[in-house]
Chain A
Amino acid sequence: MKSKIGYRLPFVVMSVLGVFFVAQYYIPHPSVQKPSMIMQQWKQPLGVFILFIAAIGIIVLHVRRIRRKQRGWGYSVVTLVSMAAMVFVGMVFGVGEGTVFTDWFEYLITPIEATMFSLLAFFVASAAYRAFKARTVNAALLLISAFIVMLGMIPAVENYFPPLSDAAAFLLKYPNTAAKRAIIIGVALGAISVAIKTIVGIDRTILGRDR
């Protein structure tokens, strides 16, 4: 009995809410919109709890690495100390303009993150040099398209050789957009199909493996 309720209750809640949230998108009446809004606001405190769980997860993971002296455990120490320091200065001195927290963000995190992302250019260049080869006809077509689009991004090419720039614009606007649109529609249809299967109970994997 207990297991039946334990199985049916989440399924009923899921199905009813699934139908409700589809309906609220189309019914602007306050009797539908008000409860919808209240339920949507529950996500904010839920989000805070998720952040809290994520923070605990990071701490547990890195403490374990340090205890076991796993390879690169020194980085875990840096992570934990940095995390604790940011929390400390944020809570003690505030997070507004002109605070230590903002200064650390501006002069430490900003350049570090920008540097990490900038390094991508070097790895992309190296990977393209080694792996981007015309091994097949399809790969050759991809290579030619990439050349045209990359060249089209250079102002000098645009100014002195407009046909190449026009070809780049054509590739981006037509073949690319057609493929992208097909992917968007395909993904949307897939999402609708999964949602319907979940709401009507055909797909029950969301309730756990043994369901």
Chain B
Amino acid sequence: MGKLAGGLKRIGQLDRRTVFVIMAVAVALPFLTPFRFVAKPGEETLRFDGALEKAMAAPKPIMVSVDFGPQTMAEMEPILLAFMHKLFRERKKVIFLTFMPETTALMHRYLADMERRYDLKYGEDYVFLGYATPYFMVIYAMGTSIEEYYHADDRGISIHDIPLMKDVKKLNDVSAVISIASNSMAQFWIAWGVAPFGIELLMACTATQATDYFPYLQTGQVKGLIAGGKAGAEYEALLVEQGYMATTGDATRGLGSQSLALIAIIVLIVAGNVSFLAGLGSGRRNRP
């Protein structure tokens, strides 16, 4: 009995460095083994893809607002790249823009890669309008006139000299807007784009943000939502099925880490609670 009590006490008193090592092993292990978790496309992912295909069928370009930085790249980048593959493989014309200055450098890299891969022509197949501020005013102004804020694109080319922008004067001249953001930008798209102008909005966000957007998804203000790494992996699996990607990408690779990290956290919480419920926990001894 004494040994059991001692054991229970010890599992409630793990040093934080031990917790860090457990987490490090959980995160790193899936990258060191060939084993991969397989994601099955869920209801939300299929809904997003359905809405995207509907937007792609319309004879208008699609606008993509990319708003994430290096902090959330691991979660957001695979989602962005996945639907970029689908859009560009179908030769859909795309207008990119951002409301975060640090996204600009990331976008240069993604677009250069896509241009090489799909032999795209800048200004005709795609355009990057670049960074603009203040975001909610830019969104609202674009509802009546895109050139009010974007006089030139990211390369400094006048918006009047860009063939792709010839027939795109306002938000309703695009078939849909996709907001891929790790901040609250999608809420501004809902308030200043969907509500006043009735644009079709699809979005991608981090897993922790998903709960913020379910109400808008249920009301139909957001047509499709991809939230976090797991949904990203589901979307990659779907695009592989559809033939848009040869193999799954980084979201699927990261899914193993995410899953093992979640299991590690669950085990740690259970351990902490077993110790606590046995009246032996001493959570105050070690600060996180």
Contacts and interface: CB of A to CB of B under 8 A. Distances in A.
Interface string B130-144: 000110010011001
Interface residues of B, number: 67
Nearest to A25: B196
A132 to B, nearest CB: 5
A97 B102 CA distance: 13
B134 A47 contact: yes
Interface in B242-268: 255, 258-259, 261-266, 268
The range of chain A's interface size is: 35 or more
Interface in A17-67: 25, 33, 37, 40-41, 43-44, 47
Contacts of A40: 137, 140-141
A130 B288 contact: yes
B112 interface: yes
Interface string A102-116: 100110011111101
The DSSP consensus for interface residues of chain A is helix
B16 A37 contact: no
Nearest to B111: A97
A205 interface: no
B157 interface: no
B14 interface: yes
Nearest to B265: A125
B5 to A, nearest CB: 18
A155 to B, nearest CB: 5
B215 A181 contact: yes
A150 interface: yes
Interface in A159-208: 159, 169, 172-173, 176-177, 180-181, 184
The DSSP consensus for interface residues of chain B is helix
Contacts of B230: 153, 155
A159 B40 CA distance: 8
A105 B74 CA distance: 17
Interface string A100-139: 0010011001111110111001111111111111110000
Contacts of B133: 43-44, 47
Given A41-B148, A122-B19, A130-B272, A113 B69 contact: yes
A133 B262 contact: no
Give 8 closest A-B pairs by Cβ, nearest first.
A117-B71, A113-B70, A110-B70, A129-B268, A126-B288, A127-B288, A177-B214, A181-B215
Given A121-B27, A159-B40, 11 more contacts: A41-B137, A44-B134, A116-B71, A122-B19, A129-B265, A132-B269, A132-B273, A133-B276, A151-B262, A156-B259, A172-B211
Interface of B: 14, 16, 19-20, 22-24, 27, 37-40, 42-43, 69-74, 102, 105-106, 108-109, 112, 133-134, 137, 140-141, 144-145, 148-149, 155, 196, 207, 210-212, 214-215, 218, 230, 233, 255, 258-259, 261-266, 268-269, 271-273, 276-277, 281, 283, 286-288
Interface of A: 25, 33, 37, 40-41, 43-44, 47, 96-97, 102, 105-106, 109-114, 116-118, 121-135, 143, 146-147, 150-151, 153-156, 158-159, 169, 172-173, 176-177, 180-181, 184
